[in-house]
């Protein structure tokens, strides 16, 4: 089966229902996902951590005990060895997470740890660490009718003509049950992200923006515990670079894959895109207002 | 590479006060900056750090899977950062599901364990978590108690297993790091002596007068006033004060006799060993 991901044609032996089917021209696959044997170790890895081994040529071996091992080579080939049920969502969540991040770095694309929405014809990235509320804010935009380009990982193509371009990735948003309930989205009928997590995939459906858009702004989300520290601050110069460095998805992994200079060069080009530090108190009741405020700032009174 | 000093305690036992005092001392006795993004001695195993350093998507890991990553994370971070690193810890000293020490001895340079009368902890914990005192007492007697259990949106920390209050004390005092034991009550009675001991344990040699300046800069009323002005980023709830009373024995005017008796019954041996009974 072939799927579309960031405009790439993905041929996969593993069904990937989270992705849209490929409807473009019939051309050789850009990325192949196969089921097969994966060695327990790389020979002479430059890095060996608890989950990732990386070789000097950028090859990655990623292992989640009890779920699957993944061998990621040349930005083109992923070999998956599931530990148990190959069809389990658990196997796909890491394939479409970290493994996808490694593929991006191998291909010279810049993945940001960010959701991404369309406002007024531009892509607006909502970046931040895990637990900062990227997906809930992305879902708030979705609920207000703004098209979605990505949840959790936003892929930027810096080599594209016309400046940094966001390549749409996943037509789903991952939300914990309490976030779903807070947003009034029924969890019934939704697929779980993993069997043992109370976290669900919300399909974006027709709200998915499947074609690339120029990156208009990066919001760097931060949680503060006191309302007096909430607010927006335009980032410039060194503060902007520092925020972008933190926003790179699988940043240390990329450095370990020998991509440090490439990543830093890409970030320098990204500093031309306006960056905003958005500090907020974690408060479900404020989500819609936050989304509407960002949209208004980019000239959108109404969705789209 | 040994690198970490763990500043460990059960929650609401004076850990943050110690960190602020040590942070002040490290800067020669200047006041802490409550508007700063990161406090001195950040929390061990912060999710963002684990994601980055250990190539992990903790958002998609179960708490047990994330815990299994932590020893490897600490080794990578220690090698990356080098030097002396202080970390705040609320986890008990335990083994991961794989049977490995959560805080690996090979990257541990030392530890300081702060302990506080569990009757005062119960009152403070109830306030901090915005729960009832009876619930706090039950939490402290629950071997499965943990902070940041996971399974929720918007959680910047990984699960931290606490064990019972007494189990927490025993786990750290029996740990290979052989921690320096500081009683909150002694820190209150003679903060300069306590801070000097902590500094010595860390191998620091403060300049003359620095300990006194750091003590003055982190007096409880000073911290309270700073929180009034700037808020405090480690509040569990945006509107619940972090620095509340800062006294020893406050439980006497707050706990009922049955509540105090329940705590004493649950933790009698450890309380007696620490001089609380």
Partner B, chain A 280-299, Cβ-Cβ below 8 Å: 281-283
CA dist., res. B193 & res. B197, Å (int): 6
Give me the residue label for tokens 């009922």.
B256
CA dist., res. A128 & res. A124, Å (int): 13
How confident is the model over B6-11, as a mean pLDDT? 97
Q: Which helix (H) or strand (E) holds A10?
A: strand A8-12
User: pLDDT of B174-184, one tens digit each?
Assistant: 999 899 999 99
CA dist., res. A219 & res. A178, Å (int): 24
Nearest to B204 by CA among B79, B23, B1: B23
pLDDT of residue A304: 41
Which residues in chain A show pLDDT less than 50? 303-304
Q: Kindly provide the ipTM of the predicted complex, given to two decimals.
A: 0.94
How far CA A161 is from CA of A128, A212, A214, A266, in Å, comes to 27, 12, 10, 14
Residues on chain B touching A246 (C-beta within 8 angstroms): 48
| CATH architecture of structural domain A111-297 | 3-Layer(aba) Sandwich (3.40)
pLDDT of residue B236: 65
Residues on chain A touching B62 (C-beta within 8 angstroms): 194, 196-197
> Domain map of chain B by residue range?
4-273
Share of chain B above pLDDT 70, in %: 95
pLDDT of residue A266: 95
Mutation for B interface: A64, A105, A131, A229, most B CBs within 10 A = A131
How confident is the model over B248-272, as a mean pLDDT? 96
By the CB < 8 Å criterion, does A129 face chain B?
Answer: yes
* Count of pairs with CB atoms under 8 A, one residue in A, one in B: 121
User: pLDDT of B103-142, one tens digit each?
Assistant: 999 999 999 999 999 999 999 999 888 899 999 999 999 9
pLDDT of residue A64: 97
pLDDT of residue B220: 84
User: Quick one: A252 exposed, middle or buried, by C-beta within 10 A (0-12, 13-18, 19+)?
Assistant: buried
Taking 70 as the threshold, does the pLDDT of residue B185 lie above it? yes
pLDDT of residue B190: 96
Give me the residue label for tokens 């450095």.
A255
> Domain map of chain A by residue range?
2-107, 111-297
Taking 70 as the threshold, does the pLDDT of residue B57 lie above it? yes
Question: Any idea which fold B4-273 has?
Answer: Rossmann fold (3.40.50)
- Min Cα distance A149 → chain B (Å) is 20
How many residues appear in chain A? 304
| Cβ(A216)–Cβ(A272) below 8 Å | no
Partner B, chain A 130-149, Cβ-Cβ below 8 Å: 130-133, 135-136
Nearest to B37 by CA among A279, A126, A238: A279
- Which distant-in-sequence residues (6+ apart) come within 8 Å of A95 by Cβ? A14, A16, A33, A68, A70, A78, A80
pLDDT bucket at B232, cuts 50 / 70 / 90: confident
How confident is the model over B176-194, as a mean pLDDT? 95
Radius of gyration of chain A (CA): 19
Identify which has the larger pLDDT, A136 or B40. A136
List the single residue in B58, B235, B238 with the smallest CB-CB distance to A130. Answer: B58
Taking 90 as the threshold, does the pLDDT of residue B238 lie above it? no
């Amino acid at each position: 089966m072939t799927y579309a991901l960031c405009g790439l044609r993905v041929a996969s032996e593993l069904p990937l229902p989270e992705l849209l089917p490929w409807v473009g021209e019939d051309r050789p696959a850009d990325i192949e996902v196969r089921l097969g044997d994966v060695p327990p170790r790389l020979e002479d890895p430059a890095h060996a951590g608890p989950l990732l081994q990386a070789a000097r040529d950028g090859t990655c071996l990623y292992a989640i005990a009890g779920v699957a091992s993944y061998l990621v080579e040349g930005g083109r080939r992923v070999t998956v060895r599931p530990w148990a049920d190959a069809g389990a969502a658990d196997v796909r969540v890491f394939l479409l997470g970290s493994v996808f991040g490694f593929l991006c770095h191998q291909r010279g694309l810049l993945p940001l740890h960010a959701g991404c929405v369309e406002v007024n014809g531009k892509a607006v990235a909502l970046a931040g660490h895990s637990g900062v509320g990227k997906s809930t804010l992305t879902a708030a935009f979705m609920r207000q009718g703004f098209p979605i380009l990505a949840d959790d990982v936003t892929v930027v193509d810096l080599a594209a003509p016309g400046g940094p371009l966001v390549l749409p990735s996943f037509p789903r948003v991952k939300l914990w049950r309490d976030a779903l309930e807070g947003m009034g989205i029924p969890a019934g009928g939704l697929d779980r992200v993993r069997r043992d997590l109370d976290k669900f995939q919300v399909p974006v459906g027709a709200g998915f923006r499947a074609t690339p858009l120029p990156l208009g702004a990066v919001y760097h989300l931060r949680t503060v515990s006191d309302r007096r520290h909430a607010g927006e601050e335009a980032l410039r110069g060194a503060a902007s670079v520092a925020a972008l460095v933190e926003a790179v998805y699988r940043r240390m992994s990329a450095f370990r894959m020998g991509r440090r200079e490439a990543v830093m060069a890409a970030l320098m080009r990204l500093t031309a895109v306006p960056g905003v530090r958005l500090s907020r108190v974690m408060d479900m009741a404020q989500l819609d207002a936050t989304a509407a405020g960002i949209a208004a700032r980019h000239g959108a009174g109404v969705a789209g | 590479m040994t690198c970490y000093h763990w500043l460990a305690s059960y929650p609401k036992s004076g850990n943050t006060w110690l960190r602020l005092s040590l942070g002040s001392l490290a800067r020669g006795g200047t006041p802490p900056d409550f508007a700063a993004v990161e406090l001195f001695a950040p929390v061990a195993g912060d999710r963002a750090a684990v994601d980055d350093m250990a190539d992990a998507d903790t958002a998609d890991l179960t708490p047990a899977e994330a815990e299994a990553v932590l020893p490897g994370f600490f080794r990578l971070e220690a090698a990356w950062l080098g030097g002396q690193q202080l970390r705040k810890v609320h986890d008990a000293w335990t083994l991961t599901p794989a049977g490995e020490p959560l805080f690996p001895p090979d990257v541990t340079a030392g530890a300081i364990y702060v302990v506080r009368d569990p009757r005062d902890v119960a009152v403070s914990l109830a306030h901090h978590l915005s729960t009832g005192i009876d619930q706090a007492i039950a939490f402290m007697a629950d071997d499965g108690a943990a902070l940041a259990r996971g399974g929720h949106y918007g959680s910047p920390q990984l699960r931290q297993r606490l064990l019972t209050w007494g189990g927490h004390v025993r786990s750290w005092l029996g740990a290979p790091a052989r921690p320096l034991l500081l009683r909150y009550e002694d820190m209150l009675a003679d903060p300069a002596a306590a801070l000097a001991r902590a500094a010595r344990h860390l191998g620091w040699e403060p300049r003359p007068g620095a300990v006194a300046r750091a003590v003055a800069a982190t007096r409880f009323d000073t911290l309270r006033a700073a929180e009034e002005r700037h808020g405090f980023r480690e509040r569990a709830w945006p509107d619940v004060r972090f620095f509340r009373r800062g006294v020893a024995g406050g439980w006497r005017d707050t706990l009922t006799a049955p509540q105090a008796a329940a705590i004493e019954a649950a933790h009698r041996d450890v309380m007696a060993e620490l001089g609380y009974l």
